[in-house]
Every structure is written in C-alpha cells, then in structure tokens.
Structure 1
Amino acid sequence: MTIDTLTASITIPAPAQVVFAVLADPANHVAIDGTGWVRESLDGALLTTPGQVFRMAMYRNNPNFPDGNYEMANQVQVFDPPHAISWKPGRDIAGDGTLQFGEWIWRYDLDQITPSETTVTLTYDWSAVPPPVREHIPFPPFAPDHLDNSLAHLAAIVKGR
C-alpha cells in the first residue's frame, strides 16, 4: 500500500479565529515552515478567498535551483474561516507568467474544542500527483516530522499574540 498523505495534529490554547488569522497571513508562513525553505511573502496580502494566488520566495539547496532561490505561487483551494484553509503550490516554470500548479495540497483543519482551545490538523496530500511527476519529485520532499515542527511553530506564534 502506498501512503500519499502525511497528517499531524496539535491542540493550541487559543480560539480557532486567532489560529486561522495566523494561517491566513502568508507573512507568518516563514516562521511556521519547518523546513527552512520559505523565505518571505512576496505579495503582502492576507488570504481571503478560494482561487486567490499568493507568492512566496523560497530557498533550497537543490540541483533544480542553481543558486537555491526560487518562487512558489500558491493557489488557495479551501477558505472556510475559521474551520479550514488549504492551498496548492505551483510555479511559473516557463517564465512566461503562466502558472502551473502541482497536484499536492497543504491543508489546515481547525476544530475548536473549547472557547480557548483549538485542535489543528495539518495534512500534506500528494495523492493526485501523476506518475510522471513522481518520477522527478520525491514525495514527500521533506522528513515526516516537518509537519510536527510546523505545528509547533504555529502554536508558538499563536501563543505570542
């Protein structure tokens, strides 16, 4: 059996609206990221609707990125405050302004269990990635504990608010 998703959860001592607000601001994604690849939000806009695209500067020591720097354009798939938010990463591969989105998704589901506690589940899902793409990109492209690290970072940011 092939596993095509990774999931991790954490309970954060805060209302779901507060946690969702942190996730809906791409400027926070640098601090949330557990890989060190996310560098900065390039748009500066809050996420507000499905279909919205937000761009992030990235860095990864990888042969596909000769100087390590690249940009990701993420398209919001789910925007359901304060319950769920997700996005699909993509890139302008040809350099002509046309975005091509991968078939993998980052998703956060928020379940407010008390007025001051929210369980957050982070899912990385690559089940829709076709075989030709899987030949060139290993999934997941990070260690499985990345999700736990990201959730711990999210909890620290929320605690600081």
Structure 2
Amino acid sequence: MSDDKISVERTIPASSAEVFEVLSNPERHVELDGSGFVVSDEKTDRIQGTGDVFTMNMTGDHMGGDYQTENHVTGFSQNKLLAWQTAPAGQEPPGWQWVWELEPEGSDATLVRLTYDWSSVTDKELLEKISFPLVSQHQLEDSLDNLSQAVTGS
C-alpha cells in the first residue's frame, strides 16, 4: 500500500452486473458508505458514463457539519469499472478519487476492489486542513461488506 492511496478487495457472491447495478445508482450509496459521511443522494439519475456528475448530501466535522459534494465520473465501463472525483459543491475536484473495479469470478461471483486515492491532491491549504486519509482502510472494508449485503441481501 502506498502513502497516498488505500485499496481493499473482497469477493462478493453475485454477478458483476448485479454489483454494478447497485454501484451505479447514487440513491444506494448511503447504504454502501462505511465512513458515515454520506447522508443521502440529491435526486441524481443513475450513472451512465464518464462526465456524469452526481450530488450527495454529506456530514462531517472535517467540513463543519452538513455539506454537499459533486462527484465527477472519471471512469466508466459497464459491469467493470466506476470511478469518480469528489469536490465540494460548486468547486472543481481537488484531486481525490474513488475507484471501484469489478472482476467476474465465474457467473455468480465478483472480485470487487475499492481504491481511495488522494495522490493528485496538491493544494497545500487543503492538505493542511484535511488530514488524509479521511477514510480509513477499515471503513473501506466496511463499504465492501455493505455492498455485499446490498447486492445479496445477506
């Protein structure tokens, strides 16, 4: 593991299409979030491709309470990849991104890798304000557990 990203992975007993169906629906992200920061989706449509932007309602002491993020989709491959850079609403993404990679393991299992990458954050003021990583490896593993439960119901 490098000093500017964290990756976790696990096999989920579902097809990559079933996993992607949940991941590409921002309404479901609150149930996936292992950090406790995501409150709700701001009525965003299903993610359809690179360039889409979805808005989330968030909360956290690091931002002084409630806030919104705009998530700019930077990677999209149906049933294989979903990635986005997060920014405070109305701002350009400052450089951290979330990457979900799906690798089918037969027809009814998928290796899911979640990477939280802040290697492109260069704003010195932001780096002083926010102590990266803001989300821990354990919280990312919780997100994978939550995804498994959301997809399989168990």
Give the TM-score normalised by the residue count of structure 2: 0.93
CA RMSD of the aligned region, Å? Answer: 1.7
**How many equivalent pairs are there?**
153
Please state whether the residue corresponding to 2:150 is helix, strand or coil.
helix
2:41 and 2:2 mapped to 1: Cα distance? 34
Q: Which has more radius of gyration?
A: 1
Do the aligned residues in 1 keep the contact of 2:94 with 2:123 (CA within 8 Å)? no
1:11 and 1:2 mapped to 2: Cα distance? 22
Structure 1 runs of 4+ aligned residues shifted over 2 Å read none
Sequence identity (%): 33
Residues 11/61 of structure 1: CA separation in 2 closer, same or farther (3 Å cut): same
- Report the residue type matching 2:98 in the other structure: W
- In the TM superposition, 1:1-161 aligns within 5 A as 3-62=3-62, 64-65=63-64, 68-92=65-89, 98-130=90-122, 132=124, 133-160=126-153
Unaligned runs of 5+ residues in structure 2 are: none
Unaligned runs of 5+ residues in structure 1 are: 93-97
Do the aligned residues in 1 keep the contact of 2:22 with 2:151 (CA within 8 Å)? yes
2:109 and 2:135 mapped to 1: Cα distance? 29
Do the aligned residues in 1 keep the contact of 2:8 with 2:137 (CA within 8 Å)? no
